[in-house]
Chain A
Amino acid sequence: DAGITQSPRHKVTETGTPVTLRCHQTENHRYMYWYRQDPGHGLRLIHYSYGVKDTDKGEVSDGYSVSRSKTEDFLLTLESATSSQTSVYFCAISDPTSTETQYFGPGTRLLVL
């Protein structure tokens, strides 16, 4: 299995509070992604990174920010959580120099009350 961990794995928070999710990889892959998965919508890209300090928006980026200060870590921040951000969040990595395959982390279940 690709070395990807996500923390926390589960979180319950209240509307209006800030939340940060962490993705850590040991594969030294250049690309990292944050997706959310909701019933009926599949996986939707929030943000992705193509290198340290290099990030770009995905399909559903409103209300989310990201940072990547090291190759191995990609942080997703909900500045002020809303109930619509209740979801399962997956981090993924890929190395386009060798393959386009994405490897996914175990996911974080976030409940915003």
Chain B
Amino acid sequence: QKEVEQNSGPLSVPEGAIASLNCTYSDRVSQSFFWYRQYSGKSPELIMSIYSNGDKEDGRFTAQLNKASQYVSLLIRDSQPSDSATYLCAVNINYGQNFVFGPGTRLSVLP
């Protein structure tokens, strides 16, 4: 069983809609969770981090964490074509600096 799983997509949404990206993880002691965005041919860049159960909002982005269900999600409101990218979920396991990434979900926002 992979430690961090994501639906590979592609996930297609119309411009202005809400895009919902999901991630599940297997290590119950994981404490830190991250969403990175990666444009084609570029390096990953951090969008949000979340450490506590509940929602965390930053502009059009909302991260949601449910540790009991081992589930973290990213919502993108008012999706724009410029949001079209691959979104990587990352989990810091074992309290160390050992980050495990999911395979990524490719998002396509259609004009």
Which residues of A approach B to under 8 Å, CB–CB? 31, 33, 35, 40-45, 48, 50, 58-59, 90, 94, 96, 99-107
Which residues of B approach A to under 8 Å, CB–CB? 8, 32, 34, 42-46, 49, 88, 90, 92, 97-104
User: CB < 8 Å: which of B8, B45, B92, B100 contacts A100?
Assistant: B92
Q: Other than A94-B97, A101-B46, A104-B45, give 19 A-B pairs with Cβ distance below 8 A.
A: A31-B97, A35-B101, A40-B8, A41-B103, A42-B101, A43-B88, A43-B101, A45-B98, A48-B97, A50-B97, A59-B100, A100-B32, A100-B34, A100-B92, A100-B97, A102-B90, A104-B44, A106-B42, A107-B43
Residue of A nearest to B99 (CB): A102
Asked if A104 contacts B43 (CB within 8 A), the reply is: yes
A/B interface sample: 9 pairs, CB < 8 A: A35-B101, A43-B90, A45-B99, A48-B98, A50-B97, A90-B43, A94-B97, A100-B49, A106-B42
Q: Chain B's interface: helix, strand, loop or mixed, by majority? A: strand
Asked if A42 contacts B103 (CB within 8 A), the reply is: yes
**Distance of A106 Cα from B42 Cα, bound (Å):** 7
User: CB < 8 Å: which of A45, A58, A101, A106 contacts B34?
Assistant: A101
A103 cross-chain contacts in B, Cβ below 8 A: 46
**Distance of A107 Cα from B43 Cα, bound (Å):** 7
- Report the minimum CB–CB distance from A84 to chain B (whole Å): 18
Residue of B nearest to A49 (CB): B97
Asked if B46 contacts A102 (CB within 8 A), the reply is: yes
Asked if A43 contacts B97 (CB within 8 A), the reply is: no
B97 cross-chain contacts in A, Cβ below 8 A: 31, 48, 50, 94, 96, 100
A41 cross-chain contacts in B, Cβ below 8 A: 103
Asked if A42 contacts B49 (CB within 8 A), the reply is: no
- Report the minimum CB–CB distance from A74 to chain B (whole Å): 14
A50 cross-chain contacts in B, Cβ below 8 A: 97
**Distance of A41 Cα from B102 Cα, bound (Å):** 8
**Distance of A40 Cα from B104 Cα, bound (Å):** 8
Asked if A44 contacts B49 (CB within 8 A), the reply is: no
**Distance of A48 Cα from B45 Cα, bound (Å):** 19
